[in-house]
Chain A
């Protein structure tokens, strides 16, 4: 048997296991550029509109966020708007897929089962890379065809598809190496994810300061391939070269290590626990703190950058009427800057709600993994156990929003020399989102209490809410459908008047859902697998 025997069977298995997950990723990533281009076509019908909006985008904060605008055209604008997001997401998809079919399988012991059959040493990694390549190829082709169908130039469309697919392959190769280094799949994904985040930061710094830094970052290369702005095809060679280096490293490491082992040493923990670890809440803190810290940093950075970007909005001399309309619809009705900020904090609220859902569903994770059994056999009651995790879902989200508000206030205030005043205003704009996120925590708790096997529907609720709020008006959905989502009731601050009634209603709904969930949890059998 050679070292690749069984690759085809494993690849087929991986495709079978991932058929829903990868399909959703591929379609989602393929549709976004097309949708953005179509949106811009209707938004900026004339060259004058394009030039007006392009002038705003030179703002350093926006450049840091999305990169420089290389071409004043619908295509150029589309790449600017969606490009970096697309490259980050495709990288995430690729690294998660590779780790899932290599280190996760190995950690769970399933690979041992497979390894005892006729499977070559390099087969699992090759199969994982093959499947990921297939997904990236599909994304690249679909993006190119979609943009072409929207009526954009062929070369640029092809370049954008290529850049996205290559970015995905690069991070697949990074994951192929990182999956060999650590014993835990989580750590392998985190390592590859850190590389991904690092390339984003490098590009952000490089695009606003020394340009050569941005040339060190693959996320930067994707933009430097210049779709719709005089394509530089040779940049594709950079991707291929570096991806080959990482993939080769991955294969070399596979050959050198034992199944199940990593190359980085396992860190040991303390032999005795600190005196503080003596309550369910202390345990929950241990389990949530990493996630919460990551989110806090992310929202602080986003808040600061967005606050900074808002200052540039005010410089806009002849605002495009439709852009103003859009912002006003999303944001409020007093001043373009306030409308922009209100729209940003509306989105921030929905982003923070993703943390809320994640932290709430941790309850379910603790249950289905079986860890809860030993805990509930101690004097810790179920409601107390649930409350320990929900504390982080509820107050953790409050912390995230507060941090985003303060950071936004600092970012905006520094630009307009009013830090003190803006912190208060934007802290308010962020915190009004809180009751709406709590409704999702309540919904998640109700699912866990009443229908534990369906608790992942909490994610569906968040996604549907986001889609309804963002697209409801665009598609002319009737008001009562949009009103079904909690975010439709959040006052649009800053700018609009603050009304306390919807906040009270949202809080009441959240509490009622939570109470129903806890009552169900109290009554039902545990653990439900």
Chain B
């Protein structure tokens, strides 16, 4: 099976709100797939449909080759889920919740559990009501990661973690990547996290996938910033296709260049002679912002993103 998740033209409305508006999403088996979008874009709604908790109004969703709603029980044996807002039973200890969720999934790896508790620095003896948001999230993460499953669905799993713990989370996910056939759907609005972890990503906005592919694919759509000191004047640089925002200051030339035109532009520069050059690859952040700016410029109704 090549695809762990396949979602086609999914629509879900809550009263007058159209939470999903024809969403497409394809997650290949074995990859870490970033599911990126601002708050309210429809990430959690999509995940809840995939878990069979919500019923889609139209469109189709397939999960591990089954129907998320009809085959929920069988499918849930093969996946683990970390909700975006983890709530625990106030009178159960974290360790009890981890063991319970693991056993309900059909057993958990005790050695792995202890190792994860250690790495996430989590005290499993505290009662549910005593945990902070970050620690509740750790409880759910340990429960999910200690289970031997094919698919991990993580809904903004690091939103309550401190930077140290976020680094631990990244290491753990990277280890999962090494394991064969384990797929991760990682919903997030933290671009650096997706950039650091994901093989492919889908950007969602207002219930619709607006961009999907590898990070490299997406970088093709974007520009690299170049700052260069040249041996002599470089006439005609501003007329080269793909060069934008050319500025010269005290002999230092700065410009942005479309990634597709990078090769031709660098050739032109080397003919003049380069003294020093720094280049900044496009960050996901820029990509993200540019995307939202672009749709804004199209004159489509804009509601949420103002940055």
In the complex, what residues of B have CB within 8 A of residue A317's CB? none
Q: How far is the CB of B115 from chain A (nearest CB, A)?
A: 14
**CB–CB A183/B73 < 8 A:** no
In the complex, what residues of A have CB within 8 A of residue B106's CB? 379
Interface check A417, CB cutoff 8 A? no
Of B74, B125, B129, B140, the residue contacting A184 (CB under 8 A) is B129
- CA gap between A369 and B90 in the complex, in Å: 11
Main secondary structure of the interface of B (DSSP, over half): mixed
**CB–CB B127/A267 < 8 A:** yes
Interface check B130, CB cutoff 8 A? yes
* Identity of the chain A residue whose Cβ is nearest the Cβ of B133 in the assembled complex: A109
**Which of B55, B97, B100, B105 has most A Cβ within 10 Å?**
B100
**Known contacts A184-B129, A526-B54: A374-B83 contact under CB 8 Å:** yes
Of A269, A272, A277, A374, the residue contacting B126 (CB under 8 A) is A269
- CA gap between A390 and B219 in the complex, in Å: 55
Q: How many residues of B contact A (CB 8 A)?
A: 45
Interface check A270, CB cutoff 8 A? yes
**CB–CB B105/A378 < 8 A:** yes
Q: How far is the CB of A521 from chain B (nearest CB, A)?
A: 12
**CB–CB A378/B95 < 8 A:** no
**CB–CB A271/B100 < 8 A:** no
In the complex, what residues of B have CB within 8 A of residue A186's CB? 90
> A residues 371-388 with Cβ under 8 Å of B?
371, 373-381
- CA gap between A335 and B88 in the complex, in Å: 54
> A residues 258-315 with Cβ under 8 Å of B?
266-273, 277-280, 282-283, 286-287, 290
* Identity of the chain A residue whose Cβ is nearest the Cβ of B49 in the assembled complex: A525
**CB–CB B73/A379 < 8 A:** yes
- CA gap between A380 and B95 in the complex, in Å: 20
**CB–CB A378/B76 < 8 A:** yes
**CB–CB B126/A371 < 8 A:** no
**Known contacts A269-B125, A271-B125, A525-B53: A183-B130 contact under CB 8 Å:** yes
* Identity of the chain A residue whose Cβ is nearest the Cβ of B117 in the assembled complex: A271
Interface check B21, CB cutoff 8 A? no
In the complex, what residues of A have CB within 8 A of residue B105's CB? 378-379
**CB–CB B96/A273 < 8 A:** yes
In the complex, what residues of B have CB within 8 A of residue A287's CB? 89, 91
In the complex, what residues of A have CB within 8 A of residue B83's CB? 370, 373-374, 377
**CB–CB A381/B87 < 8 A:** no
Interface check B185, CB cutoff 8 A? no
> B residues 83-108 with Cβ under 8 Å of A?
83, 85-101, 103-106
- CA gap between A370 and B44 in the complex, in Å: 13
**CB–CB B51/A286 < 8 A:** no
**CB–CB B125/A379 < 8 A:** no
**CB–CB B104/A378 < 8 A:** yes
* Identity of the chain A residue whose Cβ is nearest the Cβ of B12 in the assembled complex: A525
Q: How far is the CB of B51 from chain A (nearest CB, A)?
A: 5
- CA gap between A283 and B93 in the complex, in Å: 12
In the complex, what residues of A have CB within 8 A of residue B126's CB? 266, 268-269
> A residues 232-278 with Cβ under 8 Å of B?
266-273, 277-278
* Identity of the chain B residue whose Cβ is nearest the Cβ of A374 in the assembled complex: B83
Q: How far is the CB of A405 from chain B (nearest CB, A)?
A: 31
Interface check B77, CB cutoff 8 A? yes
> A residues 500-525 with Cβ under 8 Å of B?
523-525
Of B54, B94, B100, the residue contacting A283 (CB under 8 A) is B100
> A residues 341-371 with Cβ under 8 Å of B?
369-371
In the complex, what residues of A have CB within 8 A of residue B93's CB? 268-271, 273
The 10 closest A-B pairs by CB, nearest first: A269-B93, A273-B96, A377-B81, A273-B99, A378-B104, A268-B125, A278-B103, A271-B95, A370-B87, A271-B124
A-B contact pairs, 12 of them (CB 8 A): A270-B95, A270-B96, A272-B95, A283-B89, A287-B91, A374-B86, A377-B76, A379-B73, A380-B104, A381-B73, A525-B53, A525-B55
